[in-house]
Structure 1
Amino acid sequence: MFSKEESLFIKKEFWVQFAEAYPRKWLLYNTKIKDVSFKFYIDNKKAQVSLDIETKEEEKRKIYFEKIQSLQTILLEEYLPEAILEGNYYLESGNVISRIWVEKLGVSLNNKNTWPEIFDFFNETMSQFEVFFYEYQDYINDLELNT
């Protein structure tokens, strides 16, 4: 078990090394759709890359999710075959969001031997997610255009 300071140091070192391994600007919060963002996540059991729809207006969240869901076949067949789509994803806080994600099990933030594998997973998965998003961004963002 690590102290709080050691855990923070490991986390910081992980992200610095990831940025050095893949020095590029990721889309993340710059989707141009309010409350829709890409995220990297790592803990001691798994790594995830997700697209989170966190708008407080439930109807808007559902529409954005349904639009992505209507593209599910394309997403799975051409970009991310292991993507999971969940319209009502419950956060630890109790808030409900919609999430589309890909996960890699058996890796750990605290095991530096798995870091290269995580870095590659993050890079490959986020790159595919971004290409998909850029391709269909206008459709996803247009709330007037029904699914």
Structure 2
Amino acid sequence: MYSKDQASQIKQEFWTTFGQYIAPQLSAEGSRINWINYKTGVKHLFFKMQADKRHASIAIEITHPDVGMQELVFEQFKEFRRLLENQLEEEWDWELHTHDEYGKTISRIYTVLPNVSIFKKEDWPALISFFKPRMIALDEFWNDAQAGFEVFK
């Protein structure tokens, strides 16, 4: 078991490593991008990567405090579902009005890589191989679809 500081340091080391690995990858528009803190340009809409001691996940999270607005954004993603799945080359799970780790109501579209740990360096290649192509695909999707979300800015 790691202390809180040790766990934080290991996580920071992983995300730094991942950031260095993916940094040369340009966005779909051909520009440099901060892949770890991806900016969608829409308030309360995030592309989020997470990893802990049991699994990793990547998600589109809709965190608008108004659940009605969450539902509208979620419904807009449904309109783009085929494009999203074509870019990702896989189907993700869709959850309208679920709860995050803090009990806050969110909606998300996500996928999980089970049985990996951010605390095991031997799992880092699997984590990087999980996150990188999916973030690139999300960026390509967003490059094509973001105009359809302008109303939510």
Query: What residue is the counterpart of 2:76 in the other structure?
Result: 67
Cα deviations across residues 70-93 of structure 1 (Å, max 9, x unaligned)? 222332244241311111121132
The answer to whether structure 1 residue 107 and structure 2 residue 116 are counterparts is: yes
Residues in 1 aligned to 2:87 and 2:18: alpha-carbon distance in whole angstroms: 26
Query: What residue is the counterpart of 1:39 in the other structure?
Result: 48
Please report how far the alpha carbon of residue 27 of structure 1 lies from its aligned counterpart in structure 2 after TM superposition: 7.5
The answer to whether structure 1 residue 55 and structure 2 residue 64 are counterparts is: yes
Query: What residue is the counterpart of 2:30 in the other structure?
Result: none
Please report how far the alpha carbon of residue 105 of structure 1 lies from its aligned counterpart in structure 2 after TM superposition: 1.0
Please report how far the alpha carbon of residue 25 of structure 1 lies from its aligned counterpart in structure 2 after TM superposition: 2.1
After superposing the two structures, state which structure 1 stretch, 49-58 or 24-33, moved more: 24-33
Q: How does 1:57-136 map to 2 (within 5 A)?
A: 57-136=66-145
Give % identity: 27
Q: Which runs of 4+ in 1 moved over 4 A?
A: none
Query: Across the two proteins, how many residue pairs are aligned to each other?
Result: 143
Residues in 2 aligned to 1:29 and 1:125: alpha-carbon distance in whole angstroms: 13
SS of corresponding position for 1:116: helix
Query: What residue is the counterpart of 2:19 in the other structure?
Result: 19
Please report how far the alpha carbon of residue 7 of structure 1 lies from its aligned counterpart in structure 2 after TM superposition: 1.1
Please report how far the alpha carbon of residue 104 of structure 1 lies from its aligned counterpart in structure 2 after TM superposition: 0.9
SS of corresponding position for 2:96: strand
Residues in 2 aligned to 1:88 and 1:30: alpha-carbon distance in whole angstroms: 22
RMSD: 1.7
Residues in 2 aligned to 1:116 and 1:29: alpha-carbon distance in whole angstroms: 21
TM-score by length of 2: 0.84
Please report how far the alpha carbon of residue 29 of structure 1 lies from its aligned counterpart in structure 2 after TM superposition: 4.8
5+ long unaligned stretches in structure 1: none
Residues in 1 aligned to 2:56 and 2:34: alpha-carbon distance in whole angstroms: 20
SS of corresponding position for 2:15: helix
CA contact (8 A) 2:67 2:97 kept: no
TM-score by length of 1: 0.87
